[in-house]
């Protein structure tokens, strides 16, 4: 089986810091290679992989202000499509744009839908619904007007996450700093609980950060450590009492939730989107609907066995399991 993986080129694959789609594309690539699959990764030229790497975009466009994003996208996607006949299947992690090539090539294309950025992109997904194959990353993120071949949960490199039985005395917010991710709500909860909060992640909404978050940062009770690399991520997640994931939108998945549990760290999350699929309520964290319920959950963290969090995270969200599930999907598509 010859598989082409199309990764985004906003960031390196795997990303140095932020880059969730690139991270998932990297994890599936490396896990497939480890299982003996012939994989070619289409990514940026500085990407790191054990697969065959091919590229026409040298640097991630998010790290190079001189790059025209649309030009980079067109060159990158067409680079794969012009070689489509070399592969048995194309696994697309680049959203809807590659779908527009699907009727021009003979190779079947599987698209992992990492989320819907806007209702405005739906006409493209609906147009190619009958000609290509879609995978959802959670049952919660399925669109009622699309048909799906399977749901495959995102997998993480569990070897990068260390089990920590005895955490330090702080809560953690880890993710994009944006109103929908609940950074301010995490600050409020930590304050109500009398706990230190460490904030880590990419500032995606500068106005929100400057007006709502920065005024609370005192480097004592509220600390912002910036965008983190994998080593810092492991330390911050593992040493925290809990990950606060008080999202204000229906999140398609939530990599940090899976990563936290792989460290043994429970998660307190608003019960939205994929959270009920990721978190075992009362065993690996708590699903809450209000800030008051979140406060009550924080008082019950001592009831959580961190070893149970670790076991659940590794069992459900390893890159090896993800690879096995995708191999089944590839075989199902090719048998048609």
- Summarised one tens digit per residue, pLDDT across range 295-315 is 999 999 999 999 999 999 999
Q: Are residues 34 and 104 in the same domain?
A: yes
Report the pLDDT averaged over residues 167-196: 97
Q: Are residues 66 and 80 in the same domain?
A: yes
Same domain, 300 and 188: yes
The string of pLDDT tens digits covering residues 226-238 is 999 999 999 999 9
Give the count of domains, the chain: 2
- 299, 330: one domain: no
The answer on 171 and 291 residing in a single domain is yes
- Mean pLDDT, range 119-147, rounded to an integer: 97
208-265 pLDDT per residue, tens:
999 999 999 999 999 999 999 999 999 999 999 999 999 999 999 999 999 999 999 9
Judgement on whether residues 7 and 133 belong to the same structural domain of the protein: yes
**Does 132 lie in the same domain as 169?**
no
User: What is the tens place of the pLDDT at every residue in 64-92?
Assistant: 888 999 999 999 999 999 999 999 999 99
* Strand blocks (E) in the chain: 2-6, 38-42, 52-54, 89-92, 109-113, 133-136, 150-151, 170-174, 196-200, 222-224, 242-245, 267-270, 285-288
pLDDT, residue 252, reads 97
pLDDT of the residue at 336: 83
Is 169 found in the same domain as 94?
no
Whether 199 shows a pLDDT value over 90: the answer reads: yes
Question: Is the domain of 147 the same as that of 12?
Answer: yes
User: Residue 10 sits in which domain range?
Assistant: 2-155+318-334
Distance CA 92, CA 104 (A): 15
Tell whether 134 and 170 lie within a shared domain: no
Instruction: List the CATH number of the domain containing 240.
Output: 3.40.50.2000
Do residues 58 and 136 share a domain? Answer: yes
**198 with 90, same domain?**
no
What is the per-residue pLDDT for 26? 97
Transcribe 248-287 into DSSP letters: SS--S--HHHHHHHHTT--EEEES-TTHHHH--BTTTEEE
Instruction: Return the pLDDT at 65.
Output: 87
The pLDDT assigned to 286 comes to: 98
């Amino acid at each position: 089986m010859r598989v082409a993986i199309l990764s985004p080129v906003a960031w390196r694959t795997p990303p140095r810091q932020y880059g969730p789609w690139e991270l998932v594309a990297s994890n599936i690539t490396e896990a497939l290679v480890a299982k003996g699959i012939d994989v070619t990764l289409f990514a940026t030229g500085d990407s790191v992989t054990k697969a065959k790497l091919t590229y026409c975009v040298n640097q991630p466009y998010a790290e190079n202000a001189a790059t025209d994003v649309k030009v980079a996208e067109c060159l990158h996607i067409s680079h794969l499509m012009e070689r489509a006949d070399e592969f048995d299947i194309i696994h697309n992690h680049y959203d809807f744009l590659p779908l527009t090539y699907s009727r021009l090539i003979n190779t079947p294309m599987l698209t992992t839908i990492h989320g819907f950025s806007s209702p405005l992109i739906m006409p493209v997904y609906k147009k190619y619904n009958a000609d290509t194959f879609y995978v959802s990353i959670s049952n919660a993120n399925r669109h009622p007007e699309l048909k799906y071949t399977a749901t495959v949960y995102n997998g993480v490199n569990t070897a990068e996450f260390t089990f920590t039985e005895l955490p330090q005395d702080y809560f953690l917010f880890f993710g994009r700093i944006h109103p929908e991710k609940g950074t301010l709500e995490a600050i409020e909860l930590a304050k109500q609980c009398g706990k230190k909060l460490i904030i880590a992640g990419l500032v995606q909404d500068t106005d929100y950060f400057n007006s709502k978050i920065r005024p609370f940062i005192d480097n004592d009770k509220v600390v912002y450590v910036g965008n983190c690399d994998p080593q810092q991520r492991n330390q911050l997640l593992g040493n925290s009492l809990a990950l606060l994931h008080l999202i204000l939108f229906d999140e398609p998945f939530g990599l940090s939730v899976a990563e936290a549990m792989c460290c043994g760290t429970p998660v307190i999350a608003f019960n939205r989107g994929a959270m009920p699929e990721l978190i075992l309520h009362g065993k690996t964290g708590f699903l809450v609907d209000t800030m008051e319920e979140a406060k009550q959950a924080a008082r019950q963290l001592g009831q959580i066995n961190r070893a149970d969090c670790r076991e659940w995270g590794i069992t459900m969200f390893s890159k090896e399991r993800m690879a096995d599930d995708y191999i089944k999907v590839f075989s199902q598509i090719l048998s048609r």
